[in-house]
Amino acid sequence: MAYISESCSTCHRTARRTGLLGYLDLYRQRRALLSLDDARLEDLGLSREAVKNEANRPIWDAPAYWSH
Q: Domain for residue 1, yes or no?
A: no
Residue 22: the pLDDT is 85
Which domain does 48 fall in, by range? Answer: 9-57
Q: Greatest CA separation found in the chain?
A: 34
Does residue 66 sit within a domain? no
Query: Is residue 65 in some structural domain?
Result: no
Please tell me the predicted confidence (pLDDT) of residue 3.
52
pLDDT tier at 1 (50, 70, 90 boundaries)?
very low
67 occurs within a structural domain: no
Number of structural domains (the chain) is: 1
Q: Per the confidence metrics, is the pTM higher than 0.75?
A: no
Output b/e per residue, 40-61; b: 16+ Cβ within 10 A. eeeeeebeeebbeebbebeeee
Distance between CA atoms of residues 30 and 55, nearest Å: 5
The verdict on residue 4 lying in a domain is no
Query: pLDDT tens, 38-66?
Result: 999 999 999 999 999 999 999 888 877 77
> Which stretch of 4-13, 23-32, 33-42, 44-53 has the lowest confidence by average pLDDT?
4-13
